Structure 1
C-alpha cells in the first residue's frame, strides 16, 4: 500500500514539482491550492503526511497545523510546513513536525518526508 501525502500550496508550479518528486518515490499524492476545506480533505483522504505552505490564502499554514494537531482524529498525522518565513526554530511555535525553508531542494524534501512517514 502506498503512503498518502496531501500537499497544500498556492503556487501550482511548486505543487507540480513536489507531486512529481513524491510520485517518483512511490507515494500517493493529492495536491490542492484551496485551504478553505483542508481539514475536511485531510479527514477524507487520510494522509500519512501533510505538507503545508505557510503563506496561503485563507488560514495560514501554522493555523491549519494547529487545527490538525488539536483534532483527536488527525493529531498523529505528521505535518511539514514549507516557508520562506520560518526556520527549524519555529517548529514548536507552529506545532509542526518539520519545517522546510523555501527555496528548498528535492533531496531535503524527500529526506524529511521519508523520516516522518517511515519513522
Structure 2
C-alpha cells in the first residue's frame, strides 16, 4: 500500500513540484492550498506524513503543526515544515515538527527527509 503524504502550500508552483515529485516516488499525495482543510483531511485522508508551508495566509504552518501534534489521533504523524526563514529553525521546531526544510529546497533532500520520517 502506498504511503500517504498531505502537502499544504499556498504557492501553486511549489505545490505542483512537490506533488509531482512525491507521486513519482510512489507516494499517494493530496495537495491543498487552504490551511482550513488540513484537519478535516487528516481525518478523511489519514496521511502518514504532513508537509506544511510555514508562511501562509491566516495561521502559519507552525500553528497547524501544533493542532496536529496535540490531536490524540494524529500526534504520531511526522510533520515537515517548509520555511524560507531557516535562521529561525529553533522557533519552528518549537511547534513540534519533526523536520524543517529550507526554501528554496532541493528535491533530493525533500525525498530523503520524507523517507527517513515515514520508513
Q: TM-score, normalised by structure 1?
A: 0.94
Q: Residues 32-81 of structure 1: CA distance to partner in whole angstroms, max 9, x if unpaired?
A: 00101211111110000000000111211000000000000110100000
In structure 1, what is the Cα distance between the partners aligned to 2:64 and 2:53? 10
In structure 2, what is the Cα distance between the partners aligned to 1:92 and 1:45? 25
1:94 and 2:83 aligned: no
Give the structure 2 partner of residue 65 of structure 1: 65
| Aligned structure 1 segments of 4 or more residues deviating by more than 2 angstroms | 86-92
* Contact preservation (8 Å) 2:62, 2:92: no
Give the 5 Å matches for 1:37-116.
37-86=37-86, 88-116=89-117
Tell me the CA shift for residue 89 of structure 1.
3.3
Tell me the CA shift for residue 91 of structure 1.
4.8
Gaps of 5+ in 2: none
Give the structure 2 partner of residue 8 of structure 1: 8
Q: TM-score, normalised by structure 2?
A: 0.94
